[in-house]
Amino acid sequence: MTRTASLPRWRSWFVPFAALMAVAEVVMIVAGTHIGFHRLLVWIPAVCGVATAVTAFAATARGATGPLRLFWQRVAVAMSAVLIGAVSQTADIAFVPFDGMPPLGSRALLCYVIGTLLAIIALLRLPGGGRSWRQLTTAVLDLAVVGVTAGVAASEYLGWAVGKFGGRASTWWLNLAMVAIGVAGVTVVVKIMSARRSPAARTALWWLAPIGIAGPLSVILMTAFLPWPHLNGSAAVLAFVGLFGVLAGHAQQRAYTGRGAPSSRVAHPVVYRRGAAIPLVATGLTSLLVGTVYLRTGHLTTIQVAGTTLLLLLVVTRQAFALGENATLLETVARQAMHDELTGLYSRRPFVTAAAGAESPHTVVLIDLKDFRSINDSLGPVAGDALLTEYAARLTRIAGGDAVVARLGGDEFGLLLPGTAEETAATVDRLAAAGDEPLSAAGHEVVVEVSIGIADGIDMYRRAEIALREAGTHTDARVVRWDVSLQRHLNQRATVAADLRRALTAGEFHMVYQPVVALPHGLITGVESLIRWTRADGRTISPAEFVPVAEETGLIVELGEWIVDTVCAQAAQWRRRHGADVLDSIGVNVSARQLLDPGLPEMVAAALARHGLPAEQLTVEITETAVFGGGRALASVQALSELGVHIALDDFGTGHSSLGLLRTCPVDVIKVDKSFVDGLNGTPHQEAIAGAIADIAEKMDLGTVAEGVETPEQARRLFELGYRRAQGFLFARPMSAAAIDELLDPGIGIAA
């Protein structure tokens, strides 16, 4: 069995049981001042409490790794020595006759001292993290403050002990041991203050600190319990030593289980911050002690006066250094607020401020890394961060020392370049050309395409954003410089966006349907629905003009809901009028933005149920690009497929990784893009591609539809290559629902 397996596991009863032992000890002490009972009775909760602490420390060590595990193992060994000492002292009480002060044998005293020394070693061996010279000086002063306070208190305690017990050698050894135990508590406090970073939970260390006063307090309680020989000061404090030890282990356990989350068995380092509380508390306690002594005796000893004076000087010096450290900290915070943590570049706010205050000639260049999300998802966040860091270094190198370089968030960067437009054009050219050079990202060589927006003159940051948006919208333009036409285009799109919502409310949209026919006879088997917009003034707005605006503004979700409802209602009407099998399916196009809406599957299901349309008669047409990145979009497609809706991959062959999508996406139909149809009857290579697509679809049991068929020769050749359905101007242009009604009469077909 391994050493890890031999350690006990943390149990939920540790804390309640230790608390019960402490309460039982208090109850017996209070009752013992009124009634008598056997003198060993008070030792039962004391020994049980310490034994529970030993078990709790061992269980805490089991849940940790590295230095943290060693620390809790050492503390468990130290508490085991205390447990042996408690058992030894219990034996002394049971078998050694005494009158007055209860016996504390040399074996028990030696065990207590060994346990104390082991605890001090464990604390000193606990890593504390690095710090600056100013922080180190402040920590040393903190140590001195606590040390002087402890020295003044120890001198008062020893004076009281000598006066109470005399100057016998055994008395001196006893009280030196008690002072050593007190030093352990001081060491805990010192460790908390001096540690900048430590694997141990801060709360756990604070629970260990009160154990240090157990020794001196036990001697004081022994003298207080002299009238009741069945009570014992050591037993009284040992029960609480066990309770505080268990609470320390529980605090550490909560630190690496995240308040109830499954334990990762690793305690994450916590930053400890020192404040002025400890020096002020130390000064206050010393002042209270000295004041009490003076009121009681009328004079102070040399140690007390010198210690108090030294303490005040140390506190003043310490606070002066702390103020300097705070100033340095403020500078660090200010720098972090202005700089990106990952790349070290300026962040958005200072960059925008610099761009707004820059006088001509300056140029703002905004850069967006294309497909960064896909790279980050495929290679992992470590490679993604490395890629951003490498690209930041490239930007800094190309821009030069006079430029302001910033990471504006995510995969967007910004440059504020001095000089005229002609001077900055060369820098932009170098940026664009560098995009063809691979970057090293955690062992991967990655080529990143970029979109670049440029603007100068007034309001150049906002204008550069417009140019960058335009560059990202059009795949054929990597670099776009702002000009007045861009602003006009933006205003036009804003007008279209405003009109879209009004048009949807006013009912200006309507649907047309393009037949899908069977080859070779041309009978209609299905339709594809297409949206049209005719304004109240009679002007027709092209879908190419308003659909992208609807996607950008999010109105495509509301518009898409209207489309699905309208199409389902029309399909249900055709079923009632012409029979259930009149059409195999009716297609509706769904955009990438709609697929990102988690409510899409539920909306489609509601529309089908509302109009009584079977799910298999609805075909949702999507593009390869819409689902290429997977994630939410692919989940929506899978949910739609589970409803029974057919999925068609539109414009097949023009997007990303088409063959891979056939494996990962639940596709039922492939709609072959018009560009492949146009190549028929041309070179053998062009026909080979169209034929290969048909073969793949047949072997994967997928349907095929050839789009954009315009000539009888194309129709015949498609049939020879294995295509059995087609659509295009050869058969019919998009038409109204009433026109489709006429085509659905039995026996009527569309000539090919």
The span from the CA of 223 to the CA of 236, in Å, is 13
What integer pLDDT is reported at residue 600 of this predicted model?
93
Cis amide bond preceding 361, omega within 30? yes
At 196 the pLDDT is 53
Please compute the mean of the pLDDT values over residues 84-104 and round it to a whole number.
83
Better-predicted residue by pLDDT, 268 or 367? 367
The answer on pLDDT for 270 being more than 60 is no
Residue 155 lies in a domain: no
pLDDT at 709 over 50: yes
373 CB neighbour count, 10 Å cutoff? 14
Please tell me the predicted confidence (pLDDT) of residue 5.
Answer: 44
- The total number of structural domains in the chain stands at 3
The answer on 459 and 511 residing in a single domain is no
pLDDT of residue 151: 64
CA dist 532 and 503 (Å) reads 11
Over residues 598-619, the mean pLDDT reads 94
Last residue of a domain, one of 226, 242, 259: 259
DSSP state of 657: -
Average pLDDT of 40-46?
Answer: 93
Please give the C-alpha separations between residue 6 and each of 2, 161, 564, in angstroms, as whole numbers.
Answer: 7, 44, 64
Residue 174 lies in a domain: no
Q: What residues act catalytically?
A: 707
Measured distance CA(15)–CA(56) in Å, rounded: 9
Q: Would 210 be classed as within a structural domain?
A: yes
Q: State which of 259, 278, 301 marks the end of a domain.
A: 259
396: domain CATH number is: 3.30.70.270
Rounded mean pLDDT of 586-611? 93
Q: Work out the average pLDDT over 666-684.
A: 81
Q: What are phi and psi of 540, to 5 degrees?
A: -95, 130
pLDDT score for 154: 59
In degrees and rounded to multiples of 5, residue 281 shows phi and psi of: -65, -45
Query: Is 680 found in the same domain as 604?
Result: yes
Write the CATH number for 571: 3.20.20.450
Expressed as residue numbers, the domain containing 9 is 3-127+198-259
Q: Which residue has the tokens 């999300």?
A: 373
**Is there a single domain that holds both residue 477 and residue 527?**
no
Residue 182 has pLDDT above 60, yes or no: no
Residue 472 forms part of a structural domain: yes
- The reply to whether 460 and 512 lie within a common domain is no
Q: What percent of the chain has pLDDT over 70?
A: 76
Q: Are residues 96 and 206 in the same domain?
A: yes
CA distance 114 to 120: 10
Q: Over the range 68-91, which residues count as b (16 or more CB within 10 Å of their CB) and which as e?
A: bbbbbbbbbbbbbbbbbbbbbbbb
Residue 171's pLDDT band, with cuts at 50, 70 and 90, is very low
pLDDT at 653 over 90: no
Task: Let me know if residue 501 belongs to a domain.
Answer: no
Q: 151-160, 195-204, 597-606, 733-742: lowest mean pLDDT where?
A: 151-160
How high is the pLDDT of residue 225? 84
Average pLDDT over residues 419-436: 80
Domain boundary, last residue among 208, 228, 259: 259
Under a CB-based contact definition with an 8 Å cutoff, are residues 321 and 276 in contact?
no
- Residues 400 and 528 placed together within one structural domain of the fold: no
CA 166 to CA 177: how far, in whole Å? 16
Residues 521 and 613 in one domain: yes
pTM for the predicted model, two decimal places: 0.50
Q: Over the chain, what is the mean pLDDT?
A: 80
In this structure, the answer to whether residues 608 and 526 fall within a common structural domain is yes
* 695 and 550 housed in the same domain: yes
pLDDT of residue 117: 80
Residue 644 lies in a domain: yes
Q: Do 429 and 524 sit in the same domain of this protein?
A: no
Residues 512 and 462 in one domain: no
In a domain, 467, yes or no: yes
Shared-domain flag, residues 454 and 536? no
Phi/psi for 450 (5° steps) reads -130, 155
The answer to whether position 281 is within a domain reads no
